[in-house]
Amino acid sequence: MSGRQHRETEIARRVRAKGLAAGRTSAQIADEIHEACASQFSTTRIKAHRLSYGIALADVIEQVRALFERDSKPTPGIGETLLSAYESGLKRPGPEYLHYLCTVYRVEPAALGYDGPCICGHGHANRAAGALGGSEAKEPPLLPTERQLNLQPMVTDPEAQEDENILRRTMLNLLHTDTNLNKALDGVVLGACEGIRRRMDETLVSATVSAAMLDQWEEATISFGRQYTTTAPLRLLCDVLLELSAVRTAMSRRQPIDLQERLCRMAAQLSGLSGMIMINLGDHRLARSFFRTGRTAADETGDRALRAWITARESLVPLYFGDAREALTLAKKSRDLAGSMPCAAQAMAPVVEARALAMMSGGDSKKEVVDQAKRALSRARNAFSHLKSEDQEDVAFGYTEKQLYFYQGDVLTKLGQTIEAEVVLGQALTKYQDHILDQTLIRLDQAQCRLIDGDVKEAVAIGVKALRLVSDEYLTDFIVRPAMALGQAIAARDADAPGLEDYYAELRRSRAQLKGGA
């Protein structure tokens, strides 16, 4: 024990002795210890409670393990190192560990310095734990089992129902009419999207998780990920947000402990998928909002791979909408979160880094920038080779070989490495049997390569073909932005290029489908 820790313990021992002599409870003594030590030693409230009992870290660990054993649960992984991290403020205990620490100290989460109620839904302050000793111990706790929790039926508020009805009507219109994107994606639909996202935020922040969880929701989430490349963005968005709304309703009711993490994981995945779809629809503001919601949900799971995936996907917003430096920052953050863990973000983040570096170079192929970007691509290929096979086949929650080829070709195009880019882009296009959005972006990159090499006529021809292959429901700002940039680059090279007028005609057809202000 260091001299600083020794002094902290001595002060706490004196405060405890005086408190016991005065007949104070352990919770009251903990408050006095926190008040006496916080300013000098940064003593947290959770540590003050342990000091108020005059016990060591090991004593608390053994009590937590005993409670797990009593509830017929597997031996927990909590140890002195993790508990010390909680006490130093470096980590926050998950919902389950927090519940048992509250049980050990016989207090509510707020007394330990954490916001929100305990997931068990029952107070701890008046329930004697009878395990740490002291004058307050009277009888063993009578905590409810998971089956004894009072689960309430799910109730959807009128505002949420109206938003869901708007999305259902939109879905029906898309299925049974020729409604174009300009009419379908209006302010009412966007308002419903934002309403569902906002209520999910409110539910997550309230820290009141629980209610019946169905396995079919997890299956539906996986299914939506598969449909990401084959279903029109707005059609898929309606499905995803209706599912997200159902998950939010479940989370608004207290659930058994073992279901909470599954709910938060689904909330993170569905919010992240909604953000990805919003990128495809060209609405970067709502995309950012959904990714922010996804981060909040992912943080509740403690899953670094999930948090890294959300961050990597979020980095595409500034990448596609004009801020390469922010994209680079987010990609590095995702890489740090992933660490050495084989996961989708470990392969995706370096690719975003390379693309951001290429964009920041502005087409200036300096050797150092090219080398730096190629090193990032090499890291991505190495990480991809270590992914599980199911992650290599999942286009939404994993990272596929065709995506790797496409983004590698995009980087090489932006760096002006046209010979390599042509080969890689050709390989990418042969692997794509779906996802017209990525196919279109690949063809626009191929046109850019031809333009860089001076073949203006072929660049225009490839560009026209790319736009003609895109149906109206996929024509969003996400496609029009790079298409406009290519058109401007062609016009700057040769304003009278053959076929350029046809190219602009396709662009005008595209812009007619956009929602106002995209």
CA distances from 83 to 58, 111, 145, 310 (A): 9, 16, 25, 28
Q: What is the pLDDT of residues 91-129, one digit of tens each?
A: 888 888 888 899 999 998 889 988 877 877 667 765 544
Which residues, at least 6 apart from 475, have a Cβ–Cβ distance to it below 8 Å?
181, 509, 510, 513, 514
Q: 408 vs 153, which has greater pLDDT?
A: 408
CA distances from 224 to 80, 237, 263, 288, 344 (A): 41, 9, 16, 20, 17
* pLDDT of 511 higher than 70: no
Report residue 133 as tokens.
Answer: 């000793």
pTM of the model: 0.59
Query: What average pLDDT does this structure show over 49-77?
Result: 89
Q: What is the pLDDT of residues 261-312, one digit of tens each?
A: 788 899 999 999 999 999 888 888 889 999 999 999 998 888 899 999 999 9
Question: What are φ and ψ of residue 104, in 5° steps?
Answer: -60, -45
Q: What is the pLDDT of residues 314-360, one digit of tens each?
A: 999 998 887 889 999 999 999 999 988 899 999 999 999 999 998 88
Q: 488 vs 164, which has greater pLDDT?
A: 488
DSSP string, 451-465: HHTT-HHHHHHHHHH
pLDDT band (50, 70, 90) for residue 442:
very high
Task: Say what the alpha-carbon torsion angle 342, 261, 294, 312 is, to the nearest 10 degrees.
Answer: 0
* DSSP one-letter code for 111: G
Q: What CA–CA distance (Å, rounded) separates 494 from 169?
A: 47
What pLDDT shows up at residue 1? 54
CA 130 to the chain's CA centroid: 41
Helix axes 26-41, 95-105, angle to 10 degrees: 120
Helix axes 344-361, 401-414, angle to 10 degrees: 20
Residue 20, amino acid: L
Q: Determine what percent of the chain is predicted with pLDDT higher than 90.
A: 36
Question: What are φ and ψ of residue 41, in 5° steps?
Answer: -120, 5
Supply the mean pLDDT for the chain: 82
Query: What average pLDDT does this structure show over 24-28?
Result: 91
